Chains A and B, each alone.
Chain A
Amino acid sequence: MNIDNIKKEFPIFDEKIQNNDLVYLDSANSSQKPRVVIDRIYDFYTKEFSNVGRSVHYLAVAATNLYENTRTSVQKYINAKDKNEIVFTKGATEAINLVANTFGQKYLEEGDEVLLTELEHHSNYVPWHFLRNSKKIKIEFAEINEAGEVTIEAIKNKITNKTKIISVTHLSNVTGAILPIKEIVELAHSKNIPVLVDGCQGAPHLKLDMQELDCDFYAISGHKMYGPTGIGVLYAKKKWLDDLPPYQGGGGMINDVKKTGISYGELPNKYEAGTMATAQVIAFNESIKFMEKVGIENIEYHEKELLDYGLDILRKNNSIKIVGNPKNKGGVISFIIEGVHPHDIATILDEDGVAIRAGHHCCQILHEKLKLPATARASFGVYNTKDDIDQLSKSIENCKKIFNL
């Protein structure tokens, strides 16, 4: 599969969006879907549908196998040791909530500390905040430096003998900073602290190897990986999934139910209560296959090229200030234009078919630190080209013209 004409694999790029070709620069929010993923959902519902893991009829068995095939694909893709270390969730948010809830229940007590960073998305802060109220825990934030990155020293500075878990993003959805996860995990483990990695932005763009990273938990969002919405993955080391209590109760996660008591099912059923997003899980296998076919190394290389090209062009524009300058950066460019509010930028760019995001990108803690109420953000996916960035630059000029800059 040639990355240069990969746009062809994504039907949405055949559409005119308000009479324009779509320049989609919002993949950090959610990626577009290749035809194989869309077709898989349609095919499953039209030819193969059944609920999984319950009935014994032909369709049920076939659907169960398809569902489990995705688990195996994900396991291989992220090089997890065991298939049962892959838990399907409705998204990365639910994956983090699952850990915060169950780990919090079992291991956190009043005065204990959870260490996050100032880069975290609300989905890696709010679930821990719940424990502030219920368990009276404290939340600490490792600080960013001027480049908008979190160094291993910043993490080290905030670890105390009360730190019970560290939960950090792999790749910032605002500054693009890629965190030194391996070093963080080594440091944390030397103090017996488990580490959760919010991999929403990591998984679509970076090569993943759970056994090498050695983190305890890794949260993945399916819809940012060219997959359907409503599907996420929690990778967790088996020792944790065996050890932690169940998250939600319901059908499918039980072993034996009596009036006097209940015993829970084995992994992975223990954490998959109720009917799961079956079609989406099955179609997610196609996203993994798609990414494997393109090759994560090629994706990384391609997006790095786009990033360098984009930074080069935008830096030449005197009205633009780029937010953060991390050495190790993913395909995200957040910026402001002096004199134009990010929402006005987004509306004006949209008129040319250029889709970006404006706002605080669910990172209010970071924006408060940066003293910016909002930023504009262009983020890249496998389908973007240098032409997209040229159009971005052109539309920014139009924006300046409208605002008489």
Chain B
Amino acid sequence: MDLKELYQEIILDHGKNPRNLRKTENFNKDAKGHNPLCGDNVHIYLKLNENKKVEDISFEGHGCAISMASASIMTDLVKGKEETEVKEIVNDFLDMIKEKEELQNKILNEDEKTKLMCLSGVKQYPMRVKCATLSWHTLTSAIDDFQKIVNTEN
């Protein structure tokens, strides 16, 4: 295991200065996520336009560098994408974190993929995988209008 792979510059940067850490005005979808083991909380706000495109996405919450960076990078990458594309990105990200070696995704460009791949170091730290996935599950929940709070333990 290598800490440098987990705490890459880009992760530290996004962890320290998270992008889109605010509340979207006139959001039309939102969901909350909670990790009871470490107390991390995230609230995702989403504004989909009439073409089901992500006009704006933001989040509020607190957590470790991994969870903040993951939420920050996620919001950056899905902005401007269509709902179906967002779902595909979420699924491919979760596949990468859980099983696959590489990130396989047709929607993101190479730069975006590289950015997302930075989070793959967490795979070597099973106790921290939930930190990286919390905001992604919460995003799915927001899109699907799922009423229940996402909980990493249930």
Interfacial residues, chain A to chain B (CB-CB below 8 A): 18, 339-344, 347-348, 351, 358-360, 364, 367, 373-374, 402-404
A99 to chain B, nearest CB (A): 26
Residue of chain A at shortest CB distance from B7: A402
State the CA gap A132–B12 with chains docked (Å): 44
**A343-B6 contact in complex given A18-B1, A351-B1, A403-B12, C-beta closer than 8 Å:** no
What residues of A have a CB within 8 angstroms of the CB of B41 in the complex? 373
A319 to chain B, nearest CB (A): 14
Q: Report whether B64 and A359 are in contact in the complex, using a CB–CB cutoff of 8 Å.
A: no
Interfacial residues, chain B to chain A (CB-CB below 8 A): 1, 3, 6-7, 12, 16, 37-41, 62-66, 68, 125, 127-128, 131
State the CA gap A351–B68 with chains docked (Å): 21
State the CA gap A190–B72 with chains docked (Å): 57
- Of A347, A351, A373, the most chain B CB neighbours within 10 A belong to A347
Q: Report whether A358 and B38 are in contact in the complex, using a CB–CB cutoff of 8 Å.
A: yes
What residues of A have a CB within 8 angstroms of the CB of B37 in the complex? 359
What residues of B have a CB within 8 angstroms of the CB of A18 in the complex? 1
State the CA gap A167–B66 with chains docked (Å): 38
State the CA gap A402–B64 with chains docked (Å): 14
**A351-B39 contact in complex given A341-B64, A341-B65, A343-B131, C-beta closer than 8 Å:** no
A-B CB contact pairs (8 Å), 17 listed? A341-B63, A341-B64, A341-B68, A342-B38, A343-B64, A343-B131, A344-B65, A347-B3, A347-B127, A347-B128, A359-B37, A359-B39, A360-B38, A364-B39, A373-B40, A402-B7, A403-B12
| The one of A340, A344, A374 that contacts B39, using a Cβ cutoff of 8 Å | A374
State the CA gap A402–B9 with chains docked (Å): 9
State the CA gap A174–B71 with chains docked (Å): 29
State the CA gap A122–B37 with chains docked (Å): 13
Q: Report whether A339 and B16 are in contact in the complex, using a CB–CB cutoff of 8 Å.
A: yes
Residue of chain B at shortest CB distance from A359: B38
State the CA gap A358–B65 with chains docked (Å): 14
Q: Report whether B12 and A348 are in contact in the complex, using a CB–CB cutoff of 8 Å.
A: no
State the CA gap A289–B25 with chains docked (Å): 65
State the CA gap A347–B131 with chains docked (Å): 12
What residues of B have a CB within 8 angstroms of the CB of A347 in the complex? 3, 6, 125, 127-128
What residues of B have a CB within 8 angstroms of the CB of A359 in the complex? 37-39
Beyond the given pairs A373-B39, A402-B7, A404-B12, 4 more chain A to chain B contacts, judged by CB atoms under 8 angstroms and listed by A's residue number, are: A340-B65, A343-B63, A347-B128, A373-B63
State the CA gap A318–B66 with chains docked (Å): 24
Q: Report whether A343 and B38 are in contact in the complex, using a CB–CB cutoff of 8 Å.
A: yes
Q: Report whether B39 and A360 are in contact in the complex, using a CB–CB cutoff of 8 Å.
A: yes
What residues of A have a CB within 8 angstroms of the CB of B63 in the complex? 341, 343, 373
Q: Report whether A343 and B3 are in contact in the complex, using a CB–CB cutoff of 8 Å.
A: no
Q: Report whether B64 and A344 are in contact in the complex, using a CB–CB cutoff of 8 Å.
A: yes
Residue of chain A at shortest CB distance from B16: A339
What residues of A have a CB within 8 angstroms of the CB of B1 in the complex? 18, 351
Q: Report whether A348 and B39 are in contact in the complex, using a CB–CB cutoff of 8 Å.
A: no
What residues of B have a CB within 8 angstroms of the CB of A342 in the complex? 38, 64
| The one of A348, A374, A404 that contacts B3, using a Cβ cutoff of 8 Å | A348
Q: Report whether B12 and A373 are in contact in the complex, using a CB–CB cutoff of 8 Å.
A: no
State the CA gap A348–B125 with chains docked (Å): 11
Residue of chain A at shortest CB distance from B37: A359
B123 to chain A, nearest CB (A): 13
Closest 8 pairs between A and B when the two form their complex, measured CB to CB: A341-B64, A343-B64, A373-B39, A359-B38, A344-B65, A344-B64, A360-B39, A374-B39
**A367-B66 contact in complex given A18-B1, A347-B128, C-beta closer than 8 Å:** no
What residues of A have a CB within 8 angstroms of the CB of B40 in the complex? 373
- Of A18, A344, A348, A359, the most chain B CB neighbours within 10 A belong to A344
Q: Report whether A402 and B3 are in contact in the complex, using a CB–CB cutoff of 8 Å.
A: yes
State the CA gap A359–B41 with chains docked (Å): 13
Residue of chain A at shortest CB distance from B6: A347
State the CA gap A344–B65 with chains docked (Å): 7
State the CA gap A339–B6 with chains docked (Å): 17
A200 to chain B, nearest CB (A): 19
A174 to chain B, nearest CB (A): 13
State the CA gap A344–B68 with chains docked (Å): 12
What residues of A have a CB within 8 angstroms of the CB of B68 in the complex? 341
- Of B12, B64, B131, the most chain A CB neighbours within 10 A belong to B64
**A351-B38 contact in complex given A341-B63, A341-B64, C-beta closer than 8 Å:** no
Residue of chain B at shortest CB distance from A341: B64
B136 to chain A, nearest CB (A): 18
State the CA gap A364–B38 with chains docked (Å): 10
What residues of A have a CB within 8 angstroms of the CB of B131 in the complex? 343
